[in-house]
Structure 1
């Protein structure tokens, strides 16, 4: 059995060892001067970069060309020469109207032309003969004038007959209704045996050119003014003469082929305060169809030497100002008010309040308050989701700072 003095010595030794184990080494930066563990937070070091500025605008897909097919002559439709919903080339035959009456009219016009042409040689010879005889006073001046007029009339009748032949030929050609443009056809509004009239209001079918195809998008006049002012001031540089455009489809998928901005309307809508922009896209697979809703991602320009701060690092104070937590070179936390220009993906484009080399806290901001020290661990942010890649270990994230006195 141990004596009382021995037990006391053992207790004193154990207490001394416990104190020795709690005291941090002189070079351990994970504890403060009082020996309390410092919280570890995720940080991102800010560097200036060229930021591509884009705007996501709503729009509708529009066919690059649209033609409404109507008959130009009257008659009975004998055949439909195309498959509904198929692609047709420019000039392809679509419908055949009964051509018999127009062929007869053409033949009649040709015969009338031949008759008119046959009268010209006789009138020509008579006029030339009278011209020599009038000089000899063998015929009167009046007879000579009549022969000249008869020749002119014969030639005019030939010209009239030629015009009638051309009109008859055109009408005969119109009995075969052809595609004015190349593209995809709609359904046919009639079947063979139907009677059509020239210039009727009812359409036979519609043809739409789908490759290339247009996307009409709208932009507010305010954003347009801000964009132009940014370009004029040098804050935004336009990259090249052609503005690149990407397309986000109705189901959220990105259209695989890039387009470019074609033009901008020269007027602002008085009812909506918006300007219409038109982008053109290749559409070889006919994936884009007229009437589809889409969102166009328009590349507005490049902002040089700019700073991006992850959105997860920025909060709002009671005044509504954007603030973020930073660690200085000594690891002491602080807050700053930031001037936010706009969002770029999952980041904020900052106009003022940051500088190169700043370490912004993106994870664990709830563990530090201004004036407290913390350990900063560099992390990587996924630009597509805004999430932290390679999170801190759970036991370190669970660390808590010591309470302020």
Structure 2
């Protein structure tokens, strides 16, 4: 018990000594400030630069083409010719529907055509004969008119019979179901022996073209309007490159292929409040599948004359606003001045600032917790490192 009491007394003594040391340090710092002590600070002079405008967007992938294969005639499926999940080419046969009833209909239509042609031959002979006799009054005018009418009716019957043959040939051809597009075919919804109808709602199979593939993204209305305003003012130069979009999978993996912007919608999606943007992406290995969640960095273009402030120089205040300290010349001294700034984005390790500071302002980048507005400082210029020259 006695030992424990000594330990407690020793701990209390250490706490008192630390408190006294901290108080002494604080008093010393306050005394240095009152005596005009100028803390050394690094600063960077703000310059205007042209920077790429990168929009980080999210969206989902969708096939460039989607074809739902449906029967155009009714019948029983006799055979399926494709492997589910494989790539099929346009014109490949996918299914065979029982053709027997359509073969019979075609034979019947051809027989009707032959009968109509035979009737036409007979009426044509009668009409030709009566055409000569009517001129000599050997027959009545009524007999001639009847022969002409019968001949024209026979011609019409031949045309109708030919149309019936054509229709029967088309229906027979429809018993062979072909791929309408080239793409990857999904699972078959019907099997051999199943009855299909030409009015059924469900498809027999679905084919999707996955190379290239679309990624539909959403951009906020505010960002979209700001880009249009900056472009109208000449502060923005749009990017017309075919590889202006970097894509990332849901797990953060960056895709090798880059995409190009196809178009932007002219209306706002009421459900999301976003403007839809479509990107076309090469997809030779089918890394992207329809419905996948995709992140994208869209290089919209170059924004001119942008003010960049190092991120380490920015302090966030309790009210949510951002501020920086700059160096102001006050007679023969350099003192701290506070500026509230508006940030519109990021570029590398800098913030893009739209208001609050001006070009050539000297922004303090170090000792931010030891200084305040009006405090004297000793400035040390911290020039940004130049970009690496690939030719060296």
Fold in common (TM above 0.5): yes
Runs (5+) with no aligned partner, structure 1: 1-33, 383-405
1:137 equivalent in structure 2 = 137
1:202 equivalent in structure 2 = 202
Summarize the Cα distance change of 1:378–1:235 in structure 2 as closer, same or farther, 3 Å threshold.
closer
Q: TM-score, normalised by structure 1?
A: 0.77
- Between 219-228 and 61-70, the greater mean CA deviation after superposition: 219-228
Find the aligned partners of 2:231 and 2:79 in 1 and give their Cα distance.
59
Summarize the Cα distance change of 1:339–1:365 in structure 2 as closer, same or farther, 3 Å threshold.
closer
Find the aligned partners of 2:230 and 2:248 in 1 and give their Cα distance.
26
2:369 equivalent in structure 1 = 366
Summarize the Cα distance change of 1:43–1:256 in structure 2 as closer, same or farther, 3 Å threshold.
farther
Find the aligned partners of 2:127 and 2:335 in 1 and give their Cα distance.
114
Write out aligned runs for 1:40-55 (5 A): 42-55=42-55
Asked whether the 8 Å contact 1:331–1:375 carries over to 2, the reply is no
Asked whether the 8 Å contact 1:333–1:372 carries over to 2, the reply is yes
Write out aligned runs for 1:98-247 (5 A): 98-240=98-240, 244-247=244-247
Find the aligned partners of 1:349 and 1:48 in 2 and give their Cα distance.
10
Find the aligned partners of 1:375 and 1:125 in 2 and give their Cα distance.
115
Deviations 1:202-237 (A, max 9, x none): 321111111221111222323322322222223323
Shift of 1:270: 3.6
Q: TM-score, normalised by structure 2?
A: 0.79
Shift of 1:349: 0.9
Summarize the Cα distance change of 1:302–1:187 in structure 2 as closer, same or farther, 3 Å threshold.
same
Find the aligned partners of 1:341 and 1:228 in 2 and give their Cα distance.
19
Deviations 1:65-91 (A, max 9, x none): 111112121222111111100111112
Asked whether the 8 Å contact 2:116–2:154 carries over to 1, the reply is yes
1:347 equivalent in structure 2 = 350
Summarize the Cα distance change of 1:185–1:106 in structure 2 as closer, same or farther, 3 Å threshold.
same
Asked whether the 8 Å contact 1:53–1:344 carries over to 2, the reply is no
Deviations 1:226-281 (A, max 9, x none): 32222222332324497933322211122222222222223223444322222222
Find the aligned partners of 2:288 and 2:299 in 1 and give their Cα distance.
21
Asked whether the 8 Å contact 1:69–1:204 carries over to 2, the reply is yes
Aligned residues: 347
- Between 275-284 and 185-194, the greater mean CA deviation after superposition: 275-284
Shift of 1:150: 1.3
- Between 244-253 and 327-336, the greater mean CA deviation after superposition: 327-336
Is 1:298 equivalent to 2:298 in the alignment? yes
* Secondary structure of 1:91's aligned partner: coil
Asked whether the 8 Å contact 2:87–2:185 carries over to 1, the reply is yes
Runs (5+) with no aligned partner, structure 2: 1-34, 388-392
Deviations 1:165-213 (A, max 9, x none): 1111111111111112221111111221222222212321111111221
